[in-house]
Amino acid sequence: MSDSWKLSLPCTRAEAEAIEVDMGEIAMLKPPPVLMTSEEVSDDPERWRLDAYFDSKPDSATVAAIKALVPSARRRAVRAERVAEQDWLTLSQAGLKPLTVGRFHVHTAADPGTPPPGARLFRIEAGLAFGTGQHETTSGCLAMLDRLKRTGARVENLIDLGTGTGLLAFAAMHLWPRAYATATDIDPVAIDVTAENAGVNGVRLGQRPGSLALAVAPGIVHEAILRRAPYDLVIANILAAPLIELAEDFASIAASGGQLILAGLLKTQAAAVARAYRRQGYRLAARIDQGDWAILRMVKRR
For residue 150, the one-letter residue type is R
- 99-300: CATH topology is Rossmann fold (3.40.50)
Residue 108 pLDDT grade (very low, low, confident, very high; cuts 50, 70, 90): confident
Residue 110 or residue 299, greater confidence:
299
Point out the least confidently predicted range of 127-141, 271-285, 287-301.
Answer: 127-141
Task: Reply yes or no on whether the pLDDT at 156 is more than 60.
Answer: yes
Hey, CA dihedral for 284, 273, 150, 169, is it positive or negative? positive
What pLDDT score was predicted for residue 1? Answer: 40
Lowest mean pLDDT across 12-21, 190-199, 206-215, 267-276 = 12-21
Query: How many other C-beta atoms lie within 10 A of the C-beta of residue 150?
Result: 11
Write out pLDDT tens, residues 188-229: 888 998 999 999 999 999 999 999 999 999 889 899 999 999
Domain with CATH 3.40.50.150 in the chain: 99-300
Residues 260, 233: Cα–Cα separation, whole Å: 6
Between CA 28 and CA 128 the distance in angstroms is: 10
Contact in structure between 272 and 237 (CB atoms under 8 Å): no
- Please name the fold of domain 4-91: Alpha-Beta Plaits (3.30.70)
* C-alpha to C-alpha distance for 98 and 145, rounded to whole angstroms: 19
Sorting pLDDT into bands at 50, 70 and 90, what band is 6? confident
Higher pLDDT, 42 or 77: 77
Residue 82 has pLDDT above 90, yes or no: no
| pLDDT per position as a tens digit, 117-134 | 999 999 988 654 444 445
Residues of the chain with CATH 3.30.70: 4-91
Mean pLDDT of 3-30: 75
The lowest-confidence range among 39-48, 165-174, 243-252 is 39-48
Q: What is the pLDDT of residues 136-147, one digit of tens each?
A: 788 899 999 999
The annotation status of 237 as a binding-site residue, yes or no, is yes
**Mean pLDDT, rounded, of the chain:** 86
What's the confidence (pLDDT) of residue 106?
Answer: 92
pLDDT given at position 227 = 95
138 is in an annotated binding site: yes
pTM score, whole prediction = 0.72
The CA–CA distances, whole Å, from 220 to 193, 227, 231, 298 equal 20, 11, 12, 19
Asked whether residue 249 is marked as a ligand-binding residue, the answer is no
Rounded distance between C-alpha atoms, residue 3 and residue 5, angstroms: 7
The percentage of residues in the chain with a pLDDT greater than 70, rounded to a whole number, is: 87
Task: Give the pLDDT of residue 16.
Answer: 81
Q: Has residue 51 got a pLDDT over 70? A: yes
Q: What's the average model confidence in pLDDT over 135-164? A: 92
